[in-house]
Structure 1
Amino acid sequence: MRIIMLSWEYPPKIVGGIARHVYELGHALAEEDIEVHVITAEFPGAPAYERQHDLLHVHRVAVTEHANDFVHWVQLLNRSMQAKAEELLNGWQQEGKPFKSRAFADGVLLHAHDWLAHYSGAYLKHTYRLPLIATIHATEYGRNNGLHNDLQRYIASVEWQLSYEAWRVICCSWYMKGEVEFALQTPSDKIVVIPNGVDTTKFEFKFDEAERQAFRSNYAAPDEKILFFVGRMVREKGAHVLLEALPKVRVVYPKVKLLIVGGGYRDHLVQLANWLGVAPHVYFTGFVPDDVLLRIYRIADVAVFPSLYEPFGIVALEAMAARIPVVVSDAGGLKEVVEHNVTGIVTWLNNSDSLAWGILEVLQNPERAQEMVKEAYRRVKTLYNWKRIARQTIEQYRQVWSEYRKSNW
């Protein structure tokens, strides 16, 4: 089976969670003998073609025309992605039988990730009469708690078209399944839930105590506990709620330092920290490369993710894999990933009092926190490993291919 996987981002181009999801899924599928061709946007310094595994091929394409705005750029990118996919498909067509008459092992499927890959996915579906599978990672309605302007309404309309054109829609959580049913009116029986995953081995590098302490000293004093947040500096990720909770935590537990990791515009958060009087106790790292981020996971005492909107919560899963106690809001898929008082602490959404309470629960009860860490790590290893997720995805590929071959289309 060959998969053409369409995604606007792929490492080293990382904007949100899609890049890492497609990277990990692509590698896991290749390990299960699925040939994957990722078609994505170019990135400075990254090769136009890269073979990352015997069965994983990455094709990076350029946008050669001037774009008037972001949506226009996405459309131009899709045209380039479409051209690369056509080049592959035309070659595969010459290999023998028509696609539809081929067995699963020799078949070809299209897999698009989010609305940013809809245009090329829908075009290729109809041109080559191949099934399209869509993974919808988030919706415009959910991100903005409604649709408030023409751009948001347009993006939502493209999301609707993608879910309409798809033979199967994959969502990462039951919360997202409900959102896609409501916001995009997608039939329930068309949607399957396959969670995100995490590779626990990436946190298991050599990091002796002397090196750890030296690295830690870059961010906090030896007697300070490190609270850790990683994410985009946008309202939906809730960093402002964490800043509002920090003074309340420090009243009870003054020796804490908050690390806020992530790139993007953050002046509003810096101003809030100053206004709250906690600026000396907050370290904005900006964007950090993966090797630094992994080390930050290893020095943190509590990972805090107070999202206002979260389809799944991959960062919480990564913290669990790194064996850090987690405190999260009850937004979206987070409460599916983290079970309250079992694998972490779940607090009320957009409530700094509740968040401060959750952080103090961990700081003041270290033995109980470590019990939760152990159970969280066990669940990550058994439920959220990429081999399991790849096999669940392949089962959907098999079902779709079987339905396609029996259909009149």
Structure 2
Amino acid sequence: MRILILTWEYPPRIIGGLSRHVYNLAHALAKKGVEIHILTCSDFGNTRIEKDGEIFVHRIKPLYLPGENFLLWVNHFNMAIIEHAIKLNNDQEFDIIHAHDWITAFAGRILKHSYYIPLITTIHATESGRNNGIHNETQNYISSIEWWLTYESWRVICCSKYMEEELRFLFNIPIDKLRIIPNGIQVNDLKNTDKSFNRRQYASDDEKIVFFIGRNVEEKGIHILLKAIPLVVSRFPNVKFVIAGTGPKHDQLKALAQQIGILQKTCFVGYIDDRKRNSFFENSQIAVFPSLYEPFGIVALEAMACKLPVIVGDTGGFKEIVRHEIDGIRVTPGSEKELANAILDLLFDPSKSEKIGNNGYKNAVENYSWDKIADKTINVYREVLYEYENSSWQMEKYNIKYPLVTY
């Protein structure tokens, strides 16, 4: 089976969770004998091809044309993908095109119809979900592309029941076209820590660490966490809040921390690599993810796999991953008071914290391995190929290649 994966991010280019998802899924598929070619954006200037284990990674340089508009950049990137993919497919045809989110929609659709190759799409999040609705022309345009991409796809994969319901509501996708396949974790990778990590750079020996990692955007609820901090510190002073990640709200969040008067209790560390993230998991007492919108929440699973008790917003995929008061605590999204109480509950009760951490570890490692997720993905591929091979669309491809000649 030969699969062409289209994604705008792939390590070391990491914008959000999509990059790690594609990386881990691709490697798990390759271990099962699937030939994987990934077309992604180059951060190194020129287009280049490299081997990442058993995976072929094609890092594509977007066409360089004037204009700083992100939507223009997306079009330039898609044109470059198409140009490269044509050469690849002419050498040896792909069985399936697998696109990830709307940014590669144009390339996916054109390649599908040019070569009669089935298109499968994984939708990781929607523009409406990210922005709590559609509020301007740009958002409406992106949402329209998302609808168009799901319409053009033979199957649409999403990561949770929550996302399935969101996609059905927003885009009216038939239920038999949707497949739920969760995100996963690599437990062994989480054991690789930063050997130079020094906990005392972030907190004193007698301070507990409450850790957050994620993009600094509105839907992650970091502003709610900051507002909860005074409520926590007033009752439990020996605590430090470490916030990792970057994004468009980064400076605004630091300004909010200063305005509230909690800079001495918070530490904004910016972008951190996976090893340092793992070190924070190892050295923290609680992980907090107070999201307002969360299609899945892979970062919570990673924390759970490190036996770190998690507190999450009671929304989206978190509701399916975290069983309240069993392997985590769920709080009402947007409620700093409820979030503060949950943090205090675990800080004051180490035995409860340890029990939740152990239960979370068991849940994560037993139910969310990439090996199982790869098996589910291959089943979708086989399902689509079977339908395709018995379809009139496949015959159209045959007739174009070998037109019927009559005399």
TM-score (norm: length of structure 2): 0.93
CA drift of 1:65 comes to 2.0
CA distance in 2, matches of 1:247, 1:258: 11
The one-character-per-residue Cα deviations of 1:292-340 (angstroms, maximum 9, x if unpaired) are: 2221221111000001111000110111112111001112111111110
1:242 aligns with 2:225: yes
The one-character-per-residue Cα deviations of 1:230-262 (angstroms, maximum 9, x if unpaired) are: 111111111000000011111211111000101
CA distance in 1, matches of 2:193, 2:166: 41
> What residue is the counterpart of 2:203 in the other structure?
220
The one-character-per-residue Cα deviations of 1:119-138 (angstroms, maximum 9, x if unpaired) are: 00000000000100000000
The one-character-per-residue Cα deviations of 1:249-300 (angstroms, maximum 9, x if unpaired) are: 1121111100010123422111211221211110000112222222122111
Contact 1:309–1:331 (8 Å) recurs in 2: yes
CA distance in 2, matches of 1:405, 1:206: 47
> What residue is the counterpart of 1:60 in the other structure?
59
The one-character-per-residue Cα deviations of 1:161-180 (angstroms, maximum 9, x if unpaired) are: 00000000000010000001
Contact 1:238–1:305 (8 Å) recurs in 2: yes
CA distance in 2, matches of 1:270, 1:40: 33
> What residue is the counterpart of 1:272 in the other structure?
256
Which of 279, 296, 302 in structure 1 is aligned with 2:280? 296
Q: Tell me the percent identity.
A: 45
The one-character-per-residue Cα deviations of 1:153-209 (angstroms, maximum 9, x if unpaired) are: 0000000000000000000010000001111221111101000001011122478xx
Which of 93, 104, 110 in structure 1 is aligned with 2:97? 110
CA distance in 2, matches of 1:348, 1:363: 19
CA distance in 2, matches of 1:206, 1:304: 20
> What residue is the counterpart of 2:41 in the other structure?
41
Q: Where do residues 11-50 of structure 1 align in structure 2 (5 Å cutoff)? A: 11-44=11-44, 48-50=48-50
Which amino acid letter does the alignment assign opposite residue 382 of structure 1?
Answer: E
1:80 aligns with 2:67: no
Using a 3 Å threshold, how does the CA distance of structure 1 residues 117 and 289 change in structure 2: closer, same or farther? same
The one-character-per-residue Cα deviations of 1:317-370 (angstroms, maximum 9, x if unpaired) are: 111112111001112111111110111010011000110111112111111221
How many residue pairs are counted as aligned between the two chains? Answer: 391
CA distance in 2, matches of 1:45, 1:357: 49
Using a 3 Å threshold, how does the CA distance of structure 1 residues 206 and 115 change in structure 2: closer, same or farther? closer
CA drift of 1:45 comes to 8.0
CA distance in 2, matches of 1:218, 1:374: 27
- What's the Cα RMSD here? 1.5
CA distance in 2, matches of 1:332, 1:351: 16
> What residue is the counterpart of 2:214 in the other structure?
231
Q: Where do residues 106-185 of structure 1 align in structure 2 (5 Å cutoff)? A: 108-185=95-172
CA distance in 2, matches of 1:44, 1:219: 33
The one-character-per-residue Cα deviations of 1:108-147 (angstroms, maximum 9, x if unpaired) are: 1000000001000000000000100000000011111111
> What residue is the counterpart of 2:404 in the other structure?
none
CA distance in 1, matches of 2:88, 2:44: 24
> What residue is the counterpart of 1:98 in the other structure?
none
Contact 1:67–1:73 (8 Å) recurs in 2: no
Q: Secondary structure at the match of 2:392?
A: coil
Which amino acid letter does the alignment assign opposite residue 182 of structure 2?
Answer: P
CA drift of 1:53 comes to 2.0
1:191 aligns with 2:178: yes
Contact 2:119–2:154 (8 Å) recurs in 1: yes
Contact 2:45–2:61 (8 Å) recurs in 1: no
Q: Which runs of 5+ in 1 are unaligned?
A: 94-106
> What residue is the counterpart of 2:400 in the other structure?
none
CA distance in 2, matches of 1:394, 1:267: 43
Q: Secondary structure at the match of 2:234?
A: helix
Q: Secondary structure at the match of 1:252?
A: coil
CA distance in 2, matches of 1:183, 1:348: 24
The one-character-per-residue Cα deviations of 1:79-134 (angstroms, maximum 9, x if unpaired) are: 111112111110115xxxxxxxxxxxxx6100000000100000000000010000
Q: Where do residues 321-340 of structure 1 align in structure 2 (5 Å cutoff)? A: 321-340=305-324
Using a 3 Å threshold, how does the CA distance of structure 1 residues 45 and 149 change in structure 2: closer, same or farther? closer
Q: Where do residues 311-330 of structure 1 align in structure 2 (5 Å cutoff)? A: 311-330=295-314
Which amino acid letter does the alignment assign opposite residue 8 of structure 2?
Answer: W
Which amino acid letter does the alignment assign opposite residue 16 of structure 2?
Answer: G
Contact 2:4–2:36 (8 Å) recurs in 1: yes
Q: Secondary structure at the match of 1:200?
A: coil
Contact 1:67–1:76 (8 Å) recurs in 2: no
TM-score (norm: length of structure 1): 0.93
CA distance in 2, matches of 1:244, 1:109: 47
- Runs of 4+ aligned structure 1 residues displaced above 4 Å come to none
Which of 264, 271, 293 in structure 2 is aligned with 1:287? 271
